[in-house]
Structure 1
Amino acid sequence: MKITQPRLANTLHENTDIQTALEKNDEDLTEYSFKSLRIEGLRKNNLSVQSCVFTNCSFGTCSIRKSQFSDVVFKNCDLSNVDLTGCGFHRVEFTGCKLMGANMADGIFNHITFEECRGEYMNLSMSKMRYIQFTRSNLQGAGIEGCQLMNVSFDACNLMEAEFYRTPLKGIDLSNSEISGIRITNLTNNELRGSSVSSLQAQELVRMLGVEVKG
């Protein structure tokens, strides 16, 4: 699976406070590089963020709903508990980011990578996800309910107690991820039909049916 990388401008505006940039550009952010910023209490809807890089930035008590992020890189950023409901993400990279409790429900995700991220209890429910790569990321207890997944990969991820209710996993390889306590409607439903698991994971899933595996 080939993920299209963000298409960044050759030159980005630097050393700018995000509030100043928003005021200057009618609340649109295009071609900026933000570094080591503490962004506190930002509450904006319908933002357009294009060709931007955020490095070592933290977002405290922020709400950025129904916004569009295109060709954006988040590196070592803290977006924990940020409200990103209803946002569109296109060609976006999250590397080494904290996303614990982030609300990204009802989103549209196209060509996205999450690499070595902490996303415990993040909410991705009711989202449409195409060409997504999760790599070595902690998604324990994450809400991935009612999602449409197409070309989505989980590589060496922690999916313990993640909620996949009403999310078909056909064609998805879970064999090298931790899926203990994974939450699905039930094993007789269709969530896991067509997915790939390891032999040890299969035994774990059989136990969910109340069957004792001997030998």
Structure 2
Amino acid sequence: MSSRANLAEHDFENDVAYRALDYTGLDLTGRTAESMEIDQCTFTDTRLAAVTMVKSMFTESTFDNCDLANINARATSLIDSTLTDSRLTGSKWAECVFRSTTFTECRIDLTSFRFATFKATVFRDCNLREADFQNADLRRIRFESCDLQGAQFANAQLDGTKFTNCNLLGIGGVTSLRGAVVDSDDLGSLAYSLASALGIRISS
């Protein structure tokens, strides 16, 4: 059973470790933390906008209706965690690790996942417009009913990655999709990007 978190005792700081805490309705905006460990904690209606995190880890944690916009995370991990109905617009997750993590109905537009590693991860019903997955390892993860218009996949690894009922209009780095599995209904939105990458002109 989780204990109620309070900022006097459970604020985000360097080298702290928190377990089984309930962060509800708290404002952690702009915090900076290095080597922080969060285990089995729940975040509900919590503001984490513009938090800076380095070499930190979230394990078996849940985020529901949270504001994570403009987070700047590096070498940070989310393991066995879920994010639902949360906003991550403009956040940066360079060299981060996501394992057995599920994003559902989240706003993740303009977010950078450069050089991130994803394992057994699912994006479901998410807005990922202009998200940047450059050089990310996305092998065998799933995108389900996501808006990926304008997303960037240059030099990403996508072998076995599944796209189902997704908007793939105008994605970049389309040649990196070699080995991906794309739903037949999604091919229409992908066609123009493929044609452009292959130097094919489409006449009207």
TM-score (ref. length: structure 1):
0.85
User: Is 1:157 the counterpart of 2:146 in the alignment?
Assistant: yes
Q: Of 188, 196, 201, which aligns to 1:200?
A: 188
Letter in 2 for 1:204: Y
Residue segments in structure 2 that go unaligned for 5+ positions in a row: none
Residue 22 of structure 1 contacts residue 29 of structure 1 at CA under 8 Å; is this kept in 2? no
Q: Of 113, 120, 134, which aligns to 1:131?
A: 120
User: Is 1:13 the counterpart of 2:12 in the alignment?
Assistant: no
Letter in 2 for 1:27: V
How far the C-alpha of 1:66 sits from its partner, in A, is: 1.2
Task: Give the match for residue 50 of structure 1.
Answer: 39
Within 5 Å, which residues of 2 pair with 1:110-121? Answer: 110-121=99-110
Q: Secondary structure at the match of 1:148?
A: coil
Task: Give the match for residue 74 of structure 2.
Answer: 85
Letter in 2 for 1:98: R
Task: Give the match for residue 53 of structure 2.
Answer: 64
The more displaced of 86-95 and 32-41 is 32-41
How far the C-alpha of 1:67 sits from its partner, in A, is: 0.2
Provide runs of 4+ in structure 1 moved above 3 Å: 212-215
Hey, what's the Cα distance between the residues in 2 that align with 1:86 and 1:45? 10
Task: Give the match for residue 200 of structure 2.
Answer: 211
Letter in 2 for 1:207: A
Q: Indicate how the Cα distance of structure 1 residues 201 and 52 shifts in structure 2: closer, same or farther if over 3 A, else same.
A: same
Task: Give the match for residue 86 of structure 2.
Answer: 97
Task: Give the match for residue 168 of structure 2.
Answer: 179
Q: Indicate how the Cα distance of structure 1 residues 192 and 61 shifts in structure 2: closer, same or farther if over 3 A, else same.
A: closer
Letter in 2 for 1:153: R
CA RMSD of superposed structures (Å): 2.0
Aligned residues: 198
Hey, what's the Cα distance between the residues in 2 that align with 1:206 and 1:166? 15
Letter in 2 for 1:87: T
Alignment deviations for residues 33-76 of structure 1 (CA, whole Å, 9 cap, x no partner): 01111213211111000010000101233212210111100001
Hey, what's the Cα distance between the residues in 2 that align with 1:135 and 1:193? 22
How far the C-alpha of 1:200 sits from its partner, in A, is: 1.5
Among all aligned residue pairs of Structure 1 and Structure 2, give the percentage whose two residues are the same amino acid.
24
Letter in 2 for 1:12: S
The more displaced of 78-87 and 34-43 is 34-43
TM-score (ref. length: structure 2):
0.89
Hey, what's the Cα distance between the residues in 1 that align with 2:181 and 2:141? 13
Q: Secondary structure at the match of 1:174?
A: strand
Alignment deviations for residues 76-129 of structure 1 (CA, whole Å, 9 cap, x no partner): 100000112110111010000100011111011110000000001111110111
